[in-house]
Structure 1
Amino acid sequence: MDRTTLIVTTTLVLFVAFVMGWFARWLVTRLSPIEGTDIGEVDRLAQALHEAEEIRDAAIVWGEERERELMGQLAQADAEMRAVMESLGESRAEVEDLQHRMERLGG
Structure 2
Amino acid sequence: MDRTQFIIATTLVLFGAFLLGWFASWLIGRLTRATQADPAELDRLMRLLRQTEKDRDAGQAAQERTEADLTARLAAVQAELDAAMDGLRESRAEIEELRDYIERKLARR
TM-score by length of structure 1 reads: 0.72
The residue that corresponds to 2:89 in the other structure is: 89
Q: Distance in 1 between matches of 2:36 and 2:58?
A: 33
Q: Distance in 2 between matches of 1:55 and 1:100?
A: 66
Larger Rg computed on CA atoms = 2
Alignment of 1:31-70 (within 5 A): 32=33, 34-70=34-70
What amino acid sits opposite 1:104 in the alignment?
A: R
Aligned residues with identical type, % of pairs? 35
TM-score by length of structure 2 reads: 0.71
Write the deviation string for residues 8-49 of structure 1: whole angstroms up to 9, x where unpaired.
xxxxxxxxx9xx79x6443x144x3x3221111001100100
CA RMSD of aligned residues (A): 2.0
For structure 2, the 5+ residue unaligned runs are: 1-16
- Say how many residue pairs are matched: 85
Q: Give structure 1 regions of 4+ aligned residues with deviation exceeding 2 angstroms.
A: 23-26
Q: Distance in 1 between matches of 2:48 and 2:100?
A: 76
Q: Distance in 2 between matches of 1:79 and 1:86?
A: 11
Q: Distance in 2 between matches of 1:59 and 1:42?
A: 25
